Structure 1
C-alpha cells in the first residue's frame, strides 16, 4: 500500500480482515493524508476537512472490519444549524440540518417568500440526479462503459424559454440563474462546487448532488476534530495487524511477468507484493510506473487537473470566549462573483474577495480554556500562485481574513496569533501535485469530471483515494477503499456494494 491516506487505510483494514498481509508505506511521519491537526499553545485545529457528510461510509467500514459501531470509537454529532450564509447584500440565513421543511421555511423568512420553495423544488430534482448516479458513481467500480456517464446529464433540468429557444441547464451556474432565479440562492448552490475549486460556469448540472448529499444525510462533526476519525481508522488498521512504515517514500512500482510485483523505496529497499495499491495522485503514480497507466478507452485525467486549485487555510487563535449561539460553520459569499471565478479559473491574475468558510467548533478539546477560541478560515485559490513573485498568496490571505471579519466582528482585536497554510503544505503532506483539491466524480461534462478507475492496465496495480474513482472528499475516499478491497478479494467480477 502506497500512502496512509483515508482511502488507503480504509482499503487496508478491509483487506486485512479478508486475510491479506498489508504493509503501508507512507512518505511522511504520520497517517491520515490531508486529515491532519495543528497544535500550538493549547490550541488545536483541523488543517484538512472540518466536517463530515455521509457518515454511513465509515459506519460500514467499522462494522465490516470489527462489528463495532463507529460511534464506539469517535463522538459523532450532528451540526445544527448546518450552516450560516452571509450574502453580499447584507442578508443572511441559517439552515437547519437535514430538514427540507426547515430549510424551506428558513429561506422564505430570511430571503423572501418563494425562495424556499424554489430551493426545495431544486432539491427534489437533485435527488433524482442522485438516484440515477449513486451506484455507478459511488458504489460500483468504474466499468469500461463509463462513457454513458460522461455523455448523459442525469440532472432533470427545467425547460427554460429564452427568446425563441427552449433550453435546459447544462451547468451549475445555469441551474442557479434559470431555476433558482435569485443571486443568493445561486451563491448557496455554487458554494458547494467552489469548496472543491470547481468553477460553476463549467461544472455540469449533475453537481446538484453535492448540496443534496449534505441536505439528505446531514452535516456531522467529530469531537476533538476530524483528525479523531483518522486516528480511529488508523487504530482499526493496527488492530487488524496492518503494518505501517513511515518516512518511507516509494519511487518505483516493480513489475514481474507483466504484473505489479512490489515497490522500491528511495533508500533502495525493495518490498515484494502480490498486489500494489497506490493512494497517490496521477502525476506521482505516472512517475512510479514510467507513465504506463492508461489503456485504450480509459478515463484519463483532464490536463487542467495537473494544476487543480488548492485551499488556503488560516488558523486563528483568539482571546475571548465563543459567544453563545455562535454557529459552527459560516459561509461568507463573495461580493463579486465574476471576479472571484475569473481569478480561480486564471482568466484574471488579480485576487478578489473570495467565498470564505469559517469554522468555529464549540469543542473544549480545541482550545486552552473557556476564555479562548480556535477558528479555521479557508478559501480556494489557484494552487501554484503562492510560488509566484508577486506575493499573491500574501494578498489573498489578507482578503480571506477581511472576508472572515464579516462572520467574526472584532476578529483583529481578539487575535493572539495566526498561521497560514498554503497549497504547498498540502503538497508536502499528501503528495498532491501543487496541493490541488481532488473533486468528487461527477456525471456528464464529457467525462472531464470523472476519475481514473481503481484498476489499471497493469494487473495487480490499483488506485485508491481522492485522485481515483469515485474522487475527492472524505466519504468518497472511504468508498474508494471499499471498491479496491472488493476488486482484490473478489476479482474482476466484483460489482460493488448491494
Structure 2
C-alpha cells in the first residue's frame, strides 16, 4: 500500500484520488480553500442557488466510468442526471433564432433548414460528419491515452478532413476553425454557431486549428446534460465517493513545498511547517503554483521535446440574476445570444489589447430546478461571457460595467429581464483565481491537435519521479470531461507504471 498525497480537491484530483484509494492505497488530499470542487462552486443568497463554474455536463460517460470503477453505486444513483432538450437556443445578430434538438443530427438539420433557409442544415450536417471523423482520429491520443512521447506527430498533423476550397487558382483546405466556417458553412449564422463553441473555451477561432470541430461534435454526439441541484451536486457526489473509499481530506491547508529525496517526490511541506511523507505526489494546481512548490527543481525535462505547460488562457465573467416571477413554461435551458458585431468582439478579445468586448456573446442558463429558487414565484438565471485574464488590480466598477452590458445582451433572450430583476452578483476572474490558484483567473482549454502543439497540454508524468499532474492544466486539458479523464490517466500511470497505455 503506497502513501499518495494529492494537492488540490478539483474534479480531476478527486477522480484520481478515488481510483487510487479503491486500488488499496492510502490517499490524502490537501486543499488550500475550505471546500472541494476547484472551479465547480456554488453561490447562495436569499434562497437562490447558482453554479459559478460549469453549468452543464458533456460526455457524462467519463463520470459514469469513475463511479463504476470506484463503487457499487452508479452515477445515476448518486445524482439526478437529466438530458437538456433542446440542447440550446441560438439568437443570432440579425435576430434569427433556432433551437437545436439534443443529440439528433436529423433534428438539427431540419431545425437549421427551417430557421436559416434550405441548405443550411445540410451544410451543418455534412460538417458534423467530418467532425466525427476528426473525433475518431483524435479521441484516443488526445483523451484516453497518456500523452505520446513523440507528441510532435500530434502537433504537426491536422486531423480534420477539410473540403478542398478553390481560391485564386489555388486549391486550399481549411487549417483554422474560422476557415472551416467561412469556406464550408458559408453562412454568417452557421459561422457564429460554430465559433461559439471555441469562444466558450476562450479559444480564438482565427488561430484555433480546424480540429476544434470536435468541440461542437462532442456536444452533438454525447448530448447536453444537467445535474438537478446544479453541477455542484456532481462535485459533491465525487467527494462523497472519495470519502466512501477512505480518502482523507484536509481543508484550509496550504501546501508550501514538495519534498524530494534522491530525485524523487517524497511528500509535502505544509504552511505550518508540518512534513507529510508520501510515495507519490499528485498535483492538481496550475503550472505557476507547481513551479513555486518545487523551489527551483524543473518539473518538465528540458531538451527532450516535452510539451511546455500552458500558462495563458482566457477567463470568464459570470453574472448571477435573481428574478421575481416564475420560469415561464417551455423556457429553453440554455440560450446563446451571439454578439451583434462578431468581428469586433473577436478583435477585442484576441486582437492583442486584452480588452472586454462591448455587447459580447452571452450564454444564458435558465434551469428548471426548484432546488435553485426560494419558491415557484422566482427564477435564477446565470449569464456567462468570455474575457481575457485580468490583473488582480482591476477595479470592481470595470466588471460592473461589463455585467451591465451582458444583462443588456441577455434582454434579447429574456425581454422582461430588467423589470423582474431583484438583484445580481458578479463573479470575476479574481474569484476564479481564488478558487483555483490560476493567475488572472485563467480557465484552461481542452487539448487539440495540430497548430504546432500550442493547444496540447503537458503530460501527466513529470521529470521528477513519483510526481504527477492532474486536472485542466495538464493532459488532456480543461473542461469537466477532460478533468475526469486526467484523473483516470494519472491513476493508471501510478497503478500500472510508465507502460500504461490508457483507459479502455
Normalised TM-score (structure 2): 0.97
Which of 447, 452, 474 is 2:453 aligned to?
447
Is residue 2:414 matched to residue 1:403?
Answer: no
- Counterpart pick for 1:165 among 145, 150, 170: 170
Q: How does 1:65-464 map to 2 (within 5 A)?
A: 65-291=70-296, 292-295=298-301, 296-302=304-310, 305-306=311-312, 308-348=313-353, 349=355, 351-384=357-390, 387-388=393-394, 391-464=397-470
Q: Deviations over 1:181-216 (max 9, x none)?
A: 001001000011101111100100010000000000
Is 1:475 aligned to 2:481, yes or no?
yes
RMSD (CA atoms): 1.2
**Cα contact 1:383–1:436 (8 A) shared by 2:** yes
Of residues 11, 18, 23, the one that matches 2:28 is 23
Residues 248-295 of structure 1 deviation map (CA, whole Å, 9 limit, x = unaligned): 111111100110000111221111100000001111111111351111
Residue 16 of structure 2 contacts residue 488 of structure 2 at CA under 8 Å; is this kept in 1?
yes
Aligned mates of 2:31, 2:125 — CA distance in 1: 44
Matching residue of 2:63: 58
Tell me, yes or no, if the aligned pair for 2:263 and 2:464 is still in contact at 8 Å. yes
Contact 1:328–1:361 (Cα < 8 Å) also in 2: yes
**SS across alignment from 1:252:** strand
Q: Alignment partner of 1:387: what SS? A: coil
Between the aligned partners of 1:26 and 1:278, the Cα distance in structure 2 is: 11
- Distance between the aligned counterparts of 1:373 and 1:146, measured in 2? 48
User: Where do 5+ consecutive residues of structure 2 fail to align?
Assistant: 1-5
Checking the alignment, whether the CA contact within 8 Å between 2:356 and 2:402 is kept in structure 1 is no
Cα distance in 1, alignment partners of residues 399 and 165 from structure 2: 40
Q: Distance in 2 between matches of 1:88 and 1:426?
A: 30
Deviation, 1:386, is 6.7
> Structure 1 residue 350: deviation in Å?
6.0
Q: Aligned partners of 2:489, 2:172: CA distance in 1, in Å?
A: 38
Unaligned runs of 5+ in 1: none
Shift, 1:390, TM fit: 9.9
How many pairs are equivalent? 495
2:3 alignment counterpart: none
**Cα distance in structure 2, aligned partners of 1:14 and 1:350:** 41
How far did 1:346 drift? 4.4
Q: Which residue of 2 aligns with 1:14?
A: 19
TM-score normalised by structure 1 residue count: 0.98
Structure 1 stretches (4+) deviating beyond 4 angstroms?
none
Asked if the contact 1:286/1:293 (under 8 Å) is kept, the reply is yes
> 1:45–1:374: 8 Å Cα contact kept in structure 2?
yes
Distance apart, 1:388 and its partner CA: 3.6
- Kindly indicate whether the alpha-carbon contact (under 8 Å) linking 1:352 and 1:399 is maintained by their aligned counterparts in 2: yes
Task: State whether residues 386 and 422 of structure 1, in contact with CA within 8 Å, keep that contact through their aligned partners in structure 2.
Answer: no
- Write the deviation string for residues 204-256 of structure 1: whole angstroms up to 9, x where unpaired: 00100000000000000000100000000000000000000000111111100
> Which 10-residue stretch deviates more, 355-364 or 285-294?
285-294
| d(CA) in 2 for partners of 1:350, 1:227 | 28
